[in-house]
Structure 1
Amino acid sequence: MPTAPRKKAPAAPPVRSARPDGAATRALLLETAGQVFAERGYADATSKEICERAGTPMASVNYHFGSREKLYEEVLIEAHRQIVSVEELEEVTRGIGDPREKMRALLQHMLSPSNREGDPWGFRVVLREVMAPGPLAPALVEKAVKPKAKLVLGLIAQILKLPPDHPAVQRALVFSVLPCILMLVVPKEIPRKVLPAIDGGSEVFEDLMRYVFAGLDALAKAHRTKARSANVPLRQP
């Protein structure tokens, strides 16, 4: 008696592997978005334009980043990294014992001309964000700004011989680092036209260091005097 033909087992569903170009596409979108946000700002830049410029499908932004907002958050963090990353700051200060020399090396690296080579879009993105903070500014602060601030606060605390959470240390960070940030993000044409004597050379940096360290020394002296007059021992960092 002939046997009934065996039924074929259903084919297993194909295993979906990650596209080999996924990381490259994500990087391309991030780079393209940085350029678009730098040109148009957060409010006027669209996912459609970013995808068209990148030559990717319209759904690419949502696929790789979840949303335009999440993409902009990544752009902000990358923009801050382009200016200077916390890893760079740790590297340039590694092996230096004197906190003043560490501070000098750190600021010198921040203002290095190589950091502005090619005028990357990060400077323009950060400048836009400084002038008109968007809804994702808190993410930038938490993920990009705070780690660097913690490093610099530690150095200033050592120089002032005060704890890092002391208000004077936090104010000193603003006084010391904010001029450097402005020198980095302000378009180069502005100081050239308004203050042509500032050539951006080594003498500018040396004068900056004179101001920074004279200010830190004055703060340290003032708080030592204040502590002695109040008979309050200074807490060491």
Structure 2
Amino acid sequence: MTSLKTKSEKTRNRLLTAASRIFSEKGFQESTIAEICEQAETNIASVNYHFRDKETLYLESWRFAFNKELSLYPPNGGVRTDASAEQRLAGRIRSLINRVTDDNSYSFAIINKEMAQPTRLLSDIMEKEINPQRLQMIGLLKECLGQAASDQQIQYCHTSIMGQCFHLLRLKHMQNARHFRSPASDLGDSKAFAEHIVQFSLAGIQAIRSQTLN
């Protein structure tokens, strides 16, 4: 009985791994159950058994990829909870860049495809999974900016940081698709790019904080 359960779990994980990779490359509409099953080395009946339909497989493969990436790159970036707000924010930025640039990370690539060809299928699941991460970063921004910062300033800072990280994701996809080649878009040194975003963002936050205190 245990061996059957283990075999079933392995099949499910193979399907989720294959689906997250294919959905990240082709998007929901262009991906097929047949191709996913071929890569997962299983049959369509196993998809029906574990997920019922393509839509559920899509949702669960995104969640699978997202949680796997969080386990590989913890959101806090390995920074201690008693570190300064600036250090903890830097840790979150580095973790985010690691997840964006890892070739085996698929959740952000799926989001990128979703933005280009919306299905609206991911709205609820993304809100449940991503919103806690967003709220934690906003909390850190409040600490860094100080009590005098307005909600608008906090939201703008959050949008600026996320925009820099997602721009890196877009450059990566453009390079992979061979649509764009330029020394300026070299993604070989993601660590240096992460440090730039950290320094740039913290300097901007400090400038805004100084303005609000005057």
The reply to whether TM is greater than 0.5 is yes
For the aligned residues, what is the CA RMSD?
Answer: 3.4
| Counterpart mapping for 1:143-154 below 5 A | 143-154=128-139
Distance 1:53-1:204 versus aligned 2 partners, 3 A rule: closer
Instruction: Name the counterpart of 1:215.
Output: 204
Report if the CA contact (8 A) 2:149-2:209 is conserved.
no
| Counterpart mapping for 1:49-64 below 5 A | 49-64=35-50
Unaligned runs of 5+ in 1: 1-14, 226-237
Q: CA deviation at 1:140?
A: 3.9
Give the Cα separation in 1 of the matches to 2:149 and 2:131.
13
Give the Cα separation in 2 of the matches to 1:164 and 1:147.
21
Instruction: Name the counterpart of 1:175.
Output: 160
Give the Cα separation in 1 of the matches to 2:35 and 2:93.
37
Instruction: Choose from 12, 17, 34 the match for 2:20.
Output: 34
| Counterpart mapping for 1:1-237 below 5 A | 19-81=5-67, 83-84=69-70, 88-90=74-76, 92-112=78-98, 116-162=101-147, 166-184=151-169, 186-187=171-172, 189=175, 193=182, 195=184, 200=189, 203-225=192-214
Larger radius of gyration: 1
Structure 2 counterpart SS, 1:93: coil
Letter matched to residue 111 of structure 2: V
Letter matched to residue 46 of structure 1: T
Distance 1:108-1:40 versus aligned 2 partners, 3 A rule: closer
Report if the CA contact (8 A) 2:76-2:95 is conserved.
no
Give the Cα separation in 2 of the matches to 1:54 and 1:158.
46
Give the Cα separation in 2 of the matches to 1:24 and 1:145.
26
Letter matched to residue 174 of structure 1: T
Aligned residue pairs: how many? 209
State which drifts further: 37-46 or 47-56.
47-56
Unaligned runs of 5+ in 2: none
Letter matched to residue 28 of structure 1: R
Distance 1:19-1:47 versus aligned 2 partners, 3 A rule: same
Distance 1:209-1:68 versus aligned 2 partners, 3 A rule: same
Distance 1:155-1:85 versus aligned 2 partners, 3 A rule: farther
Give the Cα separation in 2 of the matches to 1:154 and 1:86.
23
Higher relative contact order, chain-length normalized (CA < 8 Å, sep 6+): 2
